[in-house]
Amino acid sequence: MTETSFQCNESGKAFNCSSLLRKHQISHLGDKIYKRDVCGKVFHHKQYLAGHQRCHTGEKPYKCNECGKSFSQVSSLTCHRRLHTGVKPYKCNECGKLFGQNSALVIHKTIHTGEKPYKCNECDKAFNQQSNFARHHRIHTGEKPYKCEECDKVFSHKSTLETHRRIHTGEKPYKCKVCDTAFTWHSQLTRHTRIHTVEKTYKCNECGKTFSHKSSLVCHRRVHAREKSYKCTVCDKAFMRNSQLARHTRIHSGEKPYKCHECGKTFHQNSYLLIHKSIHTGEQPYKCEECEKVFSRQSSLETHKVIHTGEKPYKCKVCNKAFACHSYLAKHTRIHSGEKPYKCNECGKTFSHRSYLVCHRRVHSGEKPYKCNECDKSFSRRSSLHCHRRLHSGEKPYKCNECGNTFRHWPSLIYHRRLHTGEKSYKCTVCDKAFVRNSLLARHTRIHTAEKPYKCNECGKVFNQQSHLSRHHRIHTGEKP
Find all residues with CB under 8 Å of 149, minimum gap 6, and list them.
Answer: none
Mean pLDDT of 227-246: 79
Average pLDDT for residues 352-375, to the nearest whole number? 84
**String of b and e for 301-339 (b: at least 16 CB within 10 Å)?**
bbebbebeeeeeebeeeeeebebbeeebbebbbeeeeee
At 41-97, the pLDDT tens digits run 766 667 777 777 777 777 888 888 888 888 888 888 888 888 888 888 888 898 888
d(CA 231, CA 11): 48
CA 424 to each of CA 78, 417, 420, 433: distance values in angstroms, whole numbers, following the listed order: 66, 11, 11, 9
Q: How confident is the model at residue 3 (pLDDT cuts 50, 70, 90)?
A: very low
DSSP secondary structure string for all residues of 126-138: EESSHHHHHHHHH
Comparing CA positions, the residue from 379, 387, 414, 381 lying closest to residue 400 is 414
Is the pLDDT at 29 greater than 70, yes or no? no
Amino acid 209 reads K
pLDDT band, residue 459 (cuts 50/70/90): very high
This model's pTM is above 0.75: no
**Residue whose C-alpha is closest to residue 357's, from 366, 348, 439, 235:** 348
432 pLDDT higher than 70: yes
Q: What does the pLDDT read at residue 26?
A: 66
The percentage of the chain sitting over the pLDDT mark of 70, rounded to a whole number, equals 89
Residue-wise pLDDT for 32-41, tens only, equals 455 556 676 7
Select the more confidently predicted residue: 359 or 200. Answer: 359
Judged against a pLDDT cut of 70, whether residue 107 lies above it is answered with: yes
| pLDDT value, residue 403 | 92
pLDDT tens sequence across 365-407: 888 888 888 888 888 888 888 888 888 988 888 889 889 999 8
Ordered domains of the chain (ranges, CATH): 17-87 (3.30.160.60)
pLDDT tens-digit map of 323-338: 877 778 888 888 888 8
User: Residue 301 and residue 16: Cα distance in Å, rounded?
Assistant: 49
Give me the pLDDT at residue 1, please. Answer: 40
B/e letters for 150-189, b = 16+ CB within 10 Å, e = fewer, are: eeeeebbeeebbebbeebeeeeebbbbeeeebebbeeebb
Length in residues, the chain: 481
Phi, psi of 243, deg, nearest 5: -65, -35
* pLDDT in the model for residue 342: 83
Q: Please check the confidence at residue 4 and state whether its pLDDT lies above 60.
A: no
